[in-house]
């Protein structure tokens, strides 16, 4: 039974911190590894994350069937047990599927949902109309995070279009920012909101955290990504937000070789899961087929990068 803080929490424009994108653990044969979910959630919580996002692209959501998605949700919510808010990724080619998944999540206690556009939204008008339909279908009380990830979705959104959505849809309270390059866009969103009186939404940054210090400097509220050393993300955000900018960046730079290594599209997921496995957070690093695998040489690179990180952390401490 849960009587903790976040069981009825809803995302707002004030939400900030590190929402870790949770991996979805599988066994060698591709079956869901529900036991590892418990361990992984504990791992994330121990590292101090402010929230957890499940069933995102990095969670291999498109390879799950709806029953598996629900099984993952139940297990996660049971383990999190209200300790932090949970966002559910519900992007789907079909509106009904999207809504069903979203409502299942909200009933279990989700703080909101994340939706990415897809290629059918060819113009910004089409994009706006799609999110209008999404908001209507979800219902007004489901907080929404817009995932801006053109490298994968192929859909770009201008600051103007994003703000027209913010103006029109009260439930749109968060932006997952992973346009690339995206620093100017971040500044433009913040400036335009102030200048033109748009609501100032929560902005959490993705792209594996590759530009996190710069993004915090541009007004981001934190990170939403799945880097396998969540403690770095947490500490960098904390240091930054408490004004210790150089320390934040010093710490970040120690991890940067690994951040960059994990940030390789597609392949990086295999790296991330292997690091999580080595750190004891999951039992098996397998991605579901079709998915990337590490070769012997890949392991050698990873050994080296992890060991160099450990040495540097040891010196630093």
Q: Which of 54, 73, 159, 232 is close enough to bind a copy of itself by CB under 8 A? A: 159
> How many residues contact a copy of itself, by CB under 8 A?
60
Binding mask 224-243 for a copy of itself (x = CB under 8 A): --------------------
Binding mask 122-141 for a copy of itself (x = CB under 8 A): xxxxx---x--x---x----
Binding mask 30-69 for a copy of itself (x = CB under 8 A): x-----------------------------x-xxxxxx--
Nearest to 19 by CA among 225, 173, 202: 225
Q: Which of 1, 141, 195, 295 is close enough to bind a copy of itself by CB under 8 A? A: 295
Asked if 148 interacts with a copy of itself (CB under 8 A), we say: no
C-alpha dist (Å) from residue 31 to 25, 35, 169, 284, 293: 9, 12, 38, 11, 16
On whether the CB atoms of residues 180 and 150 are closer than 8 A, the answer is yes
On whether the CB atoms of residues 203 and 174 are closer than 8 A, the answer is yes
The stretch among 103-111, 197-205, 229-237, 285-293 that binds a copy of itself (CB under 8 A) is 285-293
Q: Which of 253, 280, 299, 310 is close enough to bind a copy of itself by CB under 8 A? A: 253
- Residue 220 DSSP class: -
Asked if 70 interacts with a copy of itself (CB under 8 A), we say: no
Asked if 211 interacts with a copy of itself (CB under 8 A), we say: yes
Structure tokens that stand for 215 in this block: 């993004």
Asked if 301 interacts with a copy of itself (CB under 8 A), we say: yes
- Residue 96, beta-bridge partner list: none
Asked if 180 interacts with a copy of itself (CB under 8 A), we say: yes
Q: Which of 71, 78, 256, 284 is close enough to bind a copy of itself by CB under 8 A? A: 256
C-alpha dist (Å) from residue 201 to 73, 175, 186, 188: 26, 7, 12, 13
Asked if 168 interacts with a copy of itself (CB under 8 A), we say: no
Q: Which of 2, 4, 184, 242 is close enough to bind a copy of itself by CB under 8 A? A: 184
Q: Which of 12, 83, 100, 104 is close enough to bind a copy of itself by CB under 8 A? A: 100
CA atoms of 140 and 147, how far apart (whole Å): 19
C-alpha dist (Å) from residue 272 to 21, 208, 259, 269: 11, 10, 10, 5
Task: For CA atoms 204, 208, 211, 214, give the dihedral sign.
Answer: positive
Q: Which of 39, 103, 200, 260 is close enough to bind a copy of itself by CB under 8 A? A: 260
- Residue 294 DSSP class: -
Asked if 82 interacts with a copy of itself (CB under 8 A), we say: no
Nearest to 268 by CA among 125, 179, 104, 151: 151
| Nearer to a copy of itself (CB atom), residue 80 or residue 144 | 144
We find the least distance from the C-beta atom of residue 74 to a copy of itself, in angstroms, to be: 18
Q: What number of helices (H) and strands (E) belong to the chain?
A: 12, 8
Q: Which of 158, 196, 197, 242 is close enough to bind a copy of itself by CB under 8 A? A: 158
List of residues contacting a copy of itself (CB under 8 A): 30, 60, 62-67, 93-97, 100, 120, 122-126, 130, 133, 137, 150, 156-161, 180-181, 183-184, 187, 210-211, 214, 217-218, 249, 253, 256-257, 260-261, 264-268, 288-290, 295, 297-298, 300-301, 308
């Amino acid at each position: 039974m849960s009587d903790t803080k976040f069981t009825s929490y809803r995302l707002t424009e004030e939400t900030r911190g590190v929402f870790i994108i949770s991996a979805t653990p599988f066994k060698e044969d591709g079956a869901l590894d529900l036991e590892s979910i418990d361990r992984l959630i504990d791992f994330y919580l121990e590292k101090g994350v402010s929230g957890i996002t499940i069933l995102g692209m990095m969670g291999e959501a498109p390879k799950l069937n709806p029953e598996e998605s629900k099984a993952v949700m139940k297990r996660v919510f049971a383990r999190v047990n209200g300790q932090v808010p949970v966002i559910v990724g519900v992007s789907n080619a079909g509106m009904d599927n999207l809504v069903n998944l979203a409502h299942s999540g909200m009933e279990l206690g989700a703080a909101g949902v994340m939706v990415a556009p897809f290629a059918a939204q060819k113009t910004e008008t089409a994009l706006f109309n799609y999110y209008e339909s999404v908001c209507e279908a979800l219902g007004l009380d489901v907080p929404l995070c817009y995932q801006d990830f053109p490298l994968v979705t192929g859909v770009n959104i201008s600051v103007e279009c994003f703000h027209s959505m913010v103006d029109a849809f009260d439930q749109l309270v968060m932006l997952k920012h992973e346009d690339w390059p995206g620093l100017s866009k971040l500044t433009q969103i913040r400036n335009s909101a102030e200048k033109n009186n748009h609501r100032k939404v929560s902005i959490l940054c993705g792209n594996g955290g590759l530009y996190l210090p710069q993004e915090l400097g541009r007004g981001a509220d934190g990170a939403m990504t799945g880097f396998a050393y969540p403690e770095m993300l947490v500490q960098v955000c904390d240091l930054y937000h408490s004004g210790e900018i150089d320390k934040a960046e010093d710490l970040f730079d120690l991890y940067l070789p690994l951040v960059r290594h994990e940030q390789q599209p597609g392949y990086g997921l295999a790296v991330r899961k292997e690091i999580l496995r080595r750190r004891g957070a999951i039992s098996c690093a397998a991605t579901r087929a079709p998915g990337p695998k590490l070769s012997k040489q890949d392991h050698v690179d990873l050994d080296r990068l992890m060991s160099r990180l450990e040495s540097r952390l040891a010196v630093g401490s």
